[in-house]
Every structure is written in structure tokens, then in C-alpha cells.
Amino acid sequence: MNRYAKQIAEILLPKKVFTTIQSIRSRNYQMRLHKEWGVYEATKEMIDRYGLTVLYGPFRGMRYPKSSLLHRDGIPILFGTYELELHPIIEEVASNRYACIVDIGSAEGYYAVGLALRTKTKVYAFDCEPRERRYLRQMARLNAVSDLIQAEAWCNPGVLSNLATGRRCLIISDCEGYEIDLFSEVSTQALKTSDLIIELHDSRPGMNAYEKLSQRFQGSHKSRVVTFDESNLGPGVPEKWKRFGREFRTPRQQWLYLNPLP
């Protein structure tokens, strides 16, 4: 879809329909690139040798459906280097008690299932891509946490506010630029007692996601920025797979970690 067709579709189609179509197209594009770059074949070989259980990291022991692991950048997941920069934060939040966990942009369920296993807490997982929700449900069953996972397609400020108002929740967000709309003036009020991990995307011209969100949360939360470092492979990736030892990201990708002020 060229830029003009995309603009027209965004105007004419309902937001949920447009977003679902874009999610499917983006996922197809990622899978195509992974085949072109050799990620698919390398992941297949890795599975044949090491199996389908996460070997290192905060979710060590979590089991993956084979089809799910093959259709993504599976090597960092298996060797525990996926979003390595967040591991200390994940260990921190996994030791906390929350009323619920909300994972927006949950994909196949890496955090949703992993945190359900670690915390035994109810997880509301949202993703617009229907195949990813199917993988999430498969992985929840495989890891015996289906009773803790509620998979849904769409989250907005109202839904988020309803889940978080009056409760301490953990919010994890990776929604490709929608975070500017999701964490609105309304929903930030509902999140005053919650912890948040937000992947930042500057998806609009002139929009600095860090500045915008930091401003919205400055009265209620202290913030910390975490930056992706592709050279940090951790200790567990064998030499043969180091080429694929970290996920493919925009250079210096950042996350915003927010905790309520005392």
C-alpha cells in the first residue's frame, strides 16, 4: 500500500479496521524480511538443536509453540537476550504485587505468559493482529496459564482507565506509536498508582514520544529511560548464532519506565 493509498484508507476506514489491516501487513513484512535475512532458517536450526523452551533470562523455562517461534526473531527469545536491557526491570516488577497486568501490543505473549508464570497475576493482553492472539492462546495453554490470560484485540484510553482506576497495576506497552493516544490526559489520571513500561516510537513528524509522555506523567510518576544496545549479547548466545543474538531494532530504541511518586 503506497503512502497515498494508506492515507485514504486511514480516513475512510473505521480506526479498528484500519489498525488491524496495518498490523497484519506489518507482521507479513517482518516475516518476509526474516526469510530474506536468514532468520527463519537459523531459528529452525536452533529449534532442532535446543528445543522450544526459553533457556535464559527472566522467563527461563517458558515453552513456545513451534510455529510461533519460527515466525519471529526466535533466537533472542530462546537464549534470553530479547529486550535484554529490560531484564532488571522485569525482575523488579515480577517481585511486586499487582491487581492485574495489562500488556498492550502483546504479540505472541512473551510478556503476558512470562509474567503470568512468574507472578500468578491476571493478565489482560491486547493485540490487533489475529494470528498473534492465536499464538498467545496456544502459548498460554502450553504453559498452563490460560486461566490467567484474557486476550483481546483492542485497547483504548477508556478500556485502560477501567482496568486501572483505583488499583495498582503493571502496564506494558508496545503499540507502535499509539502510546501517544493511549496514555491520554484521561488515562494517565487512572494510572497514578500503576507502574508502566512503555516502548517509545516517534511515529509522527515533530512528535517526541519521550517528551510528550514524560510531561503527562511528571506530576504522578518518576521516570527512567532505558536504551537498546545491540552490541550487548549477554553471556548465553553460542558463537554460531551471535549474528542473530539480538532483535532487529531502530538504533537506540528507548523505553520509558515509570513508577508512582511517593
The residue ranges of every structural domain in the chain are 3-260
Please, which pLDDT band fits residue 12 given cuts at 50, 70 and 90?
A: low
The model's confidence at residue 213, banded by pLDDT at 50, 70 and 90, is very high
Beta strands in the chain (DSSP E): 100-104, 123-126, 149-152, 169-173, 195-199, 221-227, 254-260
Q: Residues for the chain: how many in total?
A: 262
For 3-260, the fitting CATH number among 3.40.50.1820, 1.10.3720.10, 3.40.50.1100, 3.40.50.150 is 3.40.50.150
- Residue 146 φ then ψ, to 5°: -55, -35
Amino acid at 89: I
Question: What is the average per-residue pLDDT within 147-162?
Answer: 96
Q: Is 81 within 8 Å of 233 (Cβ atoms)?
A: yes
pLDDT above 90 as % of the chain: 66
Q: What is the pLDDT of residue 11?
A: 55
Look at residue 254 and tell me whether its pLDDT is greater than 70: yes
Query: Which residues neighbour 241 within 8 Å (Cβ) at sequence distance 6 or greater?
Result: 42, 46, 75, 79
Predicted confidence (pLDDT) per residue in 16-58, tens digit: 766 777 777 777 777 787 888 889 999 999 999 999 999 999 9
| pLDDT surpassing 60 at residue 125 | yes
